[in-house]
Amino acid sequence: MKISMLTFFKAINYGTFLQAYALQQTLLQLGYDVEVINYNAMSELAQNDLKNAAIGYLRHPIIACHKLLKKLRFDRAHRALRLTKPMSGSEVRSQPFEHVLIGSDEVWKVSHPAINDISLFFGKDLAAVQLSSYAASVGSDTDFENVPFDIAALLSRFNHLSVRDDNTKKMVAKFLGKEVPIHLDPTFLYEFNSETAPVKHRNFILIYSKTITEQPIINEIKSYGERLNKKIIAVGPIQPWADQNIHNAGPFEFLSMLKAADGVITSLHHGVVFAIHYNKPFCVLMNELIKNKVTPILNWLNLPNVYNQSGDIMFSLEKNVNWQQINSLVNKVREASIEYLRGLAS
């Protein structure tokens, strides 16, 4: 069977690319013929914002060079995706794909400001013979009253349904009146062994977070690093107070750094996922954008690794975690997730 994946992958964002790549590789391992539909979901407004940001970087030549190198590394990583020819939304809709698999990521987040036509990811007017989802998410959305298309009618057309979190499961139950399975983010399904490599850095805490501005948190992180003689290295968004910032890492370089880290401090969903996947001590800087996605994972695995007050950084990073038990729980859902993907052929 040929599976055509419809997902987000073009953004220069570690989680966005790695979830698409991991799902592609998992499907290939299961024996499917796989392609990724080369559809640019980014809205014109979002593309203009990127262009304006790029122009702004020109006033800071060093940062501009780092951003360019990062883009080149993402471009190189994108070549590992089995992309179709570039397609417009109308071309995607008219193509008689054998089986379109939608997901994972926030492909059902109807309030997404950067997406051009979210109805396409609900399968609206697709000519595909079969239609399924895998670990689809609505993100933090809870209001679906004013959506300009019939969600119930579109979801009822899916041959197989799979979601990533409780919030999305509730949405499907609301519109279809039935329970659907929750499956793992595809980055839990793939090990990335051949894509990662040893790094020169040792004895460090990795920061993967939106820029941290709260001084008490900054002070606590720095104090923790100084006490244990560990460097604080930020990958991705700039943290001006960190010992080192790596602005230009590609997705596989980012993963290599995370695998080498002694601990992870993150405010991003895939920061949590990869910390758990690679059994790294971690602390979550919780926020509304990730709350609905991350909290169920932490509750399921009984990991209270969230910053709420002074001392939580040290508590989270030094907490004695039974990773054997955690891995056992994850493996059970991983097996169910892979079995679901295997069942797409039926």
Whose tokens are 């679906």? That residue is 144
Q: Give the pLDDT of residue 64.
A: 66
Structure tokens at 342: 């295997």
Q: Give the pLDDT of residue 200.
A: 95
Which letter does DSSP use for residue 186 in this model? G
Domains of the chain: residue spans and CATH: 2-189+333-345 (3.40.50), 204-329 (3.40.50.2000)
Q: Give the pLDDT of residue 154.
A: 96
Q: Report helix, strand and coil shares of the chain as percent, to nearest 5.
A: 45, 15, 40
The answer to whether 246 touches 219, Cβ cutoff 8 Å, is: no
Q: Give the pLDDT of residue 52.
A: 44
User: pLDDT band at 207, cuts 50/70/90?
Assistant: very high
Most confident of the following: 40-44, 218-222, 291-295: 218-222
Structure tokens at 178: 């039935």
Please check the confidence at residue 301 and state whether its pLDDT lies above 50.
Answer: yes
In our burial notation (b when 16+ CB lie closer than 10 A, e otherwise), range 314-327 reads bebbeeebeeeebe
Please check the confidence at residue 66 and state whether its pLDDT lies above 80.
Answer: no
Q: Give the pLDDT of residue 53.
A: 47
Most confident of the following: 136-145, 208-217, 310-319: 208-217
Please check the confidence at residue 80 and state whether its pLDDT lies above 80.
Answer: yes
Q: Give the pLDDT of residue 319.
A: 87
Burial class (CB in 10 A: 0-12, 13-18, 19+), 206: buried
Please check the confidence at residue 164 and state whether its pLDDT lies above 50.
Answer: yes
Q: Give the pLDDT of residue 60.
A: 57
Please check the confidence at residue 326 and state whether its pLDDT lies above 80.
Answer: yes
Burial class (CB in 10 A: 0-12, 13-18, 19+), 146: exposed
Q: Virtual CA dihedral for 238, 261, 73, 135, nearest 10 degrees?
A: -90
Q: Give the pLDDT of residue 63.
A: 63
Q: Give the pLDDT of residue 328.
A: 97
Mean pLDDT of 106-119: 86
User: What pLDDT digit, counting tens, does each position of 271-290 carry?
Assistant: 999 999 999 999 999 998 88
Q: Give the pLDDT of residue 47.
A: 45
User: What pLDDT digit, counting tens, does each position of 181-201 carry?
Assistant: 999 999 999 999 999 999 999
d(CA 183, CA 129): 24
Query: 65-74, 112-121, 184-193 — which is least confidently predicted?
Result: 65-74
For residue 102, what are the CA distances in angstroms to 84, 120, 342?
A: 15, 10, 15
Please check the confidence at residue 11 and state whether its pLDDT lies above 90.
Answer: no
**β-pair partners for 204:** 231
Of residues 153 and 65, which shows the higher confidence score? 153
Mean pLDDT of 157-186: 95
User: pLDDT band at 51, cuts 50/70/90?
Assistant: very low
Which letter does DSSP use for residue 116 in this model? S
| Contacts of residue 331, Cβ cutoff 8 Å, sequence gap at least 6 | none
User: pLDDT band at 45, cuts 50/70/90?
Assistant: very low
Mean pLDDT of 6-18: 92
Q: Give the pLDDT of residue 317.
A: 92
User: pLDDT band at 43, cuts 50/70/90?
Assistant: very low
Of residues 58 and 262, which shows the higher confidence score? 262
pTM: 0.92
**Count of other CB atoms within 10 angstroms of residue 197:** 11
Residue 145's SS3 state is coil
d(CA 127, CA 108): 19
